[in-house]
Amino acid sequence: MEETKTFKYALPNGCPESLIKAKGLKEGEYGVEYFRISKNSPPNEEDFIPLFFLARCSNKVNNMKKNNDCSGLCQMASASILKTEDDAKRLIGKFKKMGKYIFCGIITKNDGLILDTPSNDSPSHCSFFVYTDVNENEIFKQGVYP
């Protein structure tokens, strides 16, 4: 019998289904390498906390709740990851204060849910909803940049 996985963070109501449905998203690939930009080297737990759960974003979250922006809230409850190192390098070149380090690691189906959420500047952008008992900095432990 397949084990039921639970998410590490208490996701907003209907998430991630609301995001999948609203944007017609597909699951990303598992068992392949992904890249994460980090402010610390090596990355610590804080480098992976989604915006939705940060105290400083509570007003932003409350405003989105007022506007019933379920898919936006759900996206905020995930951590951004990228399929290519080039996309990660372009982002840290453009946004100098977002983090200077790039780490990579392989995400499996046992680690969490990956959704393909490309943007124009980073077509390899994905959203990662991590499962309970998974330590993200154990996944993203291989430094690739600088």
Partner 1 sequence: MIHTDTIIINSMLVSVYVLTYYDGVKEEVDIQNNTLFLWYDEFDDFEIWLKIKSNTPTTLIDYLRNKTGIMDVINSSSVELCKRSFDDYKRFLRYEDLDLEEIELPENDCLGQDFMTILNAKQTIRKTFVAPTSLSPKSVDFKQSCTKGMLKIKVTSSNDANFGCSELMAA
Alpha-carbon distance of 135 to 127, in angstroms, equals 16
Size of the site for partner 1 (CB under 8 A): 30
125 binds partner 1 (CB under 8 A): yes
Does residue 87 interact with partner 1 by CB under 8 A?
Answer: yes
Per CB under 8 A, 44 contacts partner 1: no
Instruction: Locate 43 and state its tokens.
Output: 């990355």
Which 8-state DSSP code applies to residue 113? E
* Helix (H), strand (E) counts: the chain: 5, 6
Let me know: does 125 contact 118? Beta carbons within 8 Å: yes
Handedness of CA 85, 52, 72, 70 (dihedral sign): positive
Closest CB to partner 1 among residues 80, 111: 80
Is residue 26 a contact point for partner 1 (CB under 8 A)?
A: no
Closest distance to partner 1 from the beta carbon of 4 (Å):
28
> Looking only at residues 96 through 115 of this chain, which bind partner 1 when binding is defined by CB under 8 A?
96-98
User: Interface residues with partner 1 (CB under 8 A)?
Assistant: 23, 37, 50-51, 56-60, 63, 76, 79-80, 82, 87, 90-91, 93-98, 118-123, 125
